[in-house]
A and B are shown apart, each in its own frame.
Chain A
Amino acid sequence: MIAHTYMTESELIQRCLAADPIAQRTLYDRYKKAMYTLAYRITGSFEDANDVLQDAFVKVFRSLPSFRGEATLGAWIKTIVIRTAYGQLRKRKMHFDELDRAQAHVSTTEHNSLDAEYIEQAILALPEGYRTVFVLIEIEGYGHKEVAQILGISEGTSKSQLFHAKRRLREVLGQFDI
């Protein structure tokens, strides 16, 4: 029986570069939940999140030789996932105006308390642009400058999208200061 010892980040990278399947799987397992959740929150659908996660991790393994360690491995992977998810949204070319349906996704009569599930639904009901910026700043902790760089938008756009997202959430969630 082979004992699986914990691999440090640099060991993981080295072994992935050598195409070690165990190391590849370990890297994926280490980050899959966080990245999948992030992809889901940006795209709004589990089906899209499956595609994004797959595309993003293929990019991760193929680009690993060019990883220079300026950021942590997790941060680097996250950037790839965000760009892939955002690219998926833009590729979808949502002609349809989600704004008029966004409110109706969250039934205000069903919830009296601000539980996590209700907040989750409210976030998922946001229009895609607002949701992406909100998730990156309020949940993932990025700054506007970083968000602007990752998504290829201006800092001003990032700030205004966050403003609109919070205003929309305030309307839906009511009593909390957001």
Chain B
Amino acid sequence: MTNKWKDRLPQYMPPEHIWERIRQQLAQSDSLWRTQLEQLPEYAPPESVWRGIAQRINSSTSPETKRIRPFYRGIAAAIALWCIASVALLWHNSHDRLDSYPDISWSTQTISEDLLVDTQALSDSEALKLIWQLCQDYPFLCNTEEVQSLKTQLQEVAAAKRQLSAQLTPWETDPELLHLLTKIEREEAHLIRQMVAVLQ
């Protein structure tokens, strides 16, 4: 639909100095902004940073090591290997010596093996895999609104279960997380049952 009035009425050109004013204003703002950015503060690092750097570079570039001839270097390597093997064997036999972690406090906790989290069992259940396969092989089965809604919910809950499972190790003892996992698994099972009922 054309605007008949607009087409008939004259149009006017702005004078050139308007553009010049706009350009100057932009340049002024830009230069003010740039000035402000140039005035941003600078910060000096603490001396401890240099100490850390010096320690790390000097431990690997000691002039003495560069003067070792290749033959003696080979012997040194063999001795070092033997020392490492001995230490590893000793450490393996007495792994209670944890001197590299001096500030750790130790205690023990006994738990029943029944309560250990079976992380293998947390992957997608067989029923879920079957449903995804069914929808892939027979898309017409899963095209209804109800199935799509259940499918979306199942995907969300399955994703949540995977997210939570990724945080758990077999040694997880946190009751809240375990309770949450159970709740999500129950929800997943409920949705799977609903889905199966609809697909039948």
Interface residues, chain A, with chain B CB atoms under 8 Å away: 19, 21, 24-25, 28, 32-34, 36-37, 40, 46, 49-50, 53-54, 57-58, 61-62, 114, 116-117, 119-120, 123, 138-139, 176-178
| Assembled-state Cα–Cα distance A37/B45 (Å) | 8
Check: B56 CB closer than 8 A to any chain A CB: yes
The reply to whether B36 and A62 form a contact with Cβ atoms under 8 Å apart is no
The reply to whether B52 and A54 form a contact with Cβ atoms under 8 Å apart is yes
| Assembled-state Cα–Cα distance A119/B37 (Å) | 8
The reply to whether B43 and A24 form a contact with Cβ atoms under 8 Å apart is no
Interface residues, chain B, with chain A CB atoms under 8 Å away: 26, 29-30, 32-33, 36-37, 39-46, 48-50, 52-54, 56-58, 60-61, 63
Residue of B33, B49, B50, B57 touching A178 (CB-CB under 8 A): B33
The reply to whether B40 and A119 form a contact with Cβ atoms under 8 Å apart is yes
The reply to whether B41 and A116 form a contact with Cβ atoms under 8 Å apart is yes
Residue of A19, A34, A58, A138 touching B63 (CB-CB under 8 A): A19
The reply to whether B57 and A116 form a contact with Cβ atoms under 8 Å apart is no
Chain A contacts of B29 at CB under 8 A? 176-177
The reply to whether B33 and A53 form a contact with Cβ atoms under 8 Å apart is no
Residue of B26, B39, B42, B57 touching A61 (CB-CB under 8 A): B57
The reply to whether A119 and B36 form a contact with Cβ atoms under 8 Å apart is yes
| Assembled-state Cα–Cα distance A114/B35 (Å) | 11
Give B151 Cβ to nearest chain A Cβ, in Å.
27
Closest to A117 in B: B41
Other A-B pairs beyond A33-B44, A116-B36, 8, CB < 8 Å? A19-B58, A28-B50, A49-B45, A50-B45, A54-B49, A54-B56, A119-B36, A120-B40
Residue of B26, B41, B43, B53 touching A57 (CB-CB under 8 A): B53
The reply to whether B45 and A116 form a contact with Cβ atoms under 8 Å apart is no
Residue of B40, B54, B58 touching A139 (CB-CB under 8 A): B40
Chain B contacts of A116 at CB under 8 A? 36, 39-41
Sample of 5 A–B contacts (CB below 8 Å) = A24-B54, A36-B49, A37-B42, A50-B46, A119-B36
| Assembled-state Cα–Cα distance A28/B48 (Å) | 13
Residue of B36, B40, B48, B56 touching A58 (CB-CB under 8 A): B56
The reply to whether B32 and A176 form a contact with Cβ atoms under 8 Å apart is yes
Closest to B62 in A: A19
Give A70 Cβ to nearest chain B Cβ, in Å.
23
The reply to whether B48 and A50 form a contact with Cβ atoms under 8 Å apart is yes
The reply to whether A36 and B41 form a contact with Cβ atoms under 8 Å apart is no
